[in-house]
Structure 1
Amino acid sequence: MSSLFTINCCKSFGCHNLGLARSPDYTWPDYRLGYAALHCRACGSNPPLFNDAEFRIWASAGLSDYAKESGHFCPACYQKEIIRYGHNPGGTQRVQCLHCKKVWTPRQQLTPIDPPEQLATIPLIVPFQGASADQQLYVLLSFDAIRGNVLHISSNFTPHPAGDSLLYRWHGMGESADIHNDIIQRVNQRETEFLRRSQFDEIQYGSAALKRNASGAVLRPVIAAHSHFRVLKTRFPEVAEHIVAHECFLRGAVITAWADLFRHRRGALWFVEEDIKDTACSTPWQLLGKTHQGWWQNQWQLWGQSDNRKMVCLLTKAPLEKGATVTLAASHRFITWLKEQPEFTHSALFSAGRVTKILASLARKYNALLSLTS
Structure 2
Amino acid sequence: MTNPFAINVCKTFGCRNLGLASSADYSWPDYKLGYPALHCQACGSYPPLFDEQQFRDWLSVHLTAYAAEKGHFCPSCYCKETIFYGHNPQGTQRIQCRSCKKVWTPKQQPAREITHPRSIETVPLLLPFQGASAGQKLYVLVSLDAARGNILHLSTNYTQHQTGDSLRYCYRGNTEPTVQHSDIVQRVDMREAQFLRRSQFDEIQYGSAVLKRNGKGAILRPVITAHGHFRILKIRFPDIKTHIISHECFLRGAIITAWADQFRQQQGEIWFIEEEISDSNADTPWHFQGTTYHGWWKNQWQRWEQGKNRKMVCALTGGNNSKAKMLSLATSRHFIHWLHQQTKFTHSAPLSAGRVTQILLSLTQDYNNCASLLISD
- With the shorter chain as reference, the TM-score category is over 0.9
Maintained 8 Å contact 1:15/1:43: yes
The 5 A counterparts of 1:328-343 are 328-343=329-344
Match of 2:145 in 1: 144
> How many angstroms does 1:181 deviate by?
2.1
Give ranges in structure 1 of 5+ residues lacking alignment: none
Match of 2:84 in 1: 84
Change over 3 Å in CA distance of 1:56–1:237 after alignment to 2: same
Deviations 1:220-261 (A, max 9, x none): 000110000000000000000001100000000000000000
> 1:34 aligns to what SS in structure 2?
coil
Q: Does 1:366 align with 2:375?
A: no
> How many angstroms does 1:178 deviate by?
4.6
> How many angstroms does 1:278 deviate by?
1.3
Match of 2:25 in 1: 25
Maintained 8 Å contact 1:126/1:347: no
> How many angstroms does 1:132 deviate by?
0.5
> 2:310 aligns to what SS in structure 1?
strand
> 1:227 aligns to what SS in structure 2?
helix
Match of 1:274 in 2: 275
Match of 1:132 in 2: 133
Deviations 1:132-175 (A, max 9, x none): 11101000000001111100000000000000100000011111
The 5 A counterparts of 1:297-316 are 297-316=298-317
Deviations 1:329-351 (A, max 9, x none): 10000000000011111221111
> How many angstroms does 1:58 deviate by?
0.2
Match of 2:62 in 1: 62
Q: Distance in 2 between matches of 1:256 and 1:142?
A: 17
Maintained 8 Å contact 1:129/1:348: yes
The 5 A counterparts of 1:90-105 are 90-105=90-105
Deviations 1:199-223 (A, max 9, x none): 0000000100000011100000001
Match of 1:222 in 2: 223
Maintained 8 Å contact 1:54/1:162: yes
Runs of 4+ in 1 over 4 A off after TM superposition: none
TM-score by length of structure 1 reads 0.99
Match of 2:323 in 1: 322
Q: Distance in 1 between matches of 2:326 and 2:79?
A: 33
- Higher mean displacement: 175-184 or 227-236: 175-184
Amino acid at match of 1:69: E
Maintained 8 Å contact 2:179/2:187: no
> How many angstroms does 1:2 deviate by?
6.5
Match of 2:265 in 1: 264
- Aligned residue pair count: 374
Amino acid at match of 1:49: L
Match of 1:71 in 2: 71
Match of 2:6 in 1: 6
Q: Distance in 1 between matches of 2:214 and 2:343?
A: 28
> 2:4 aligns to what SS in structure 1?
helix
Match of 2:200 in 1: 199
Q: Please, what is the CA RMSD of the aligned residues? A: 1.0
Amino acid at match of 2:23: S
Q: Distance in 2 between matches of 1:324 and 1:135?
A: 38
Amino acid at match of 1:190: R
Q: Distance in 2 between matches of 1:325 and 1:22?
A: 38
> 1:334 aligns to what SS in structure 2?
helix
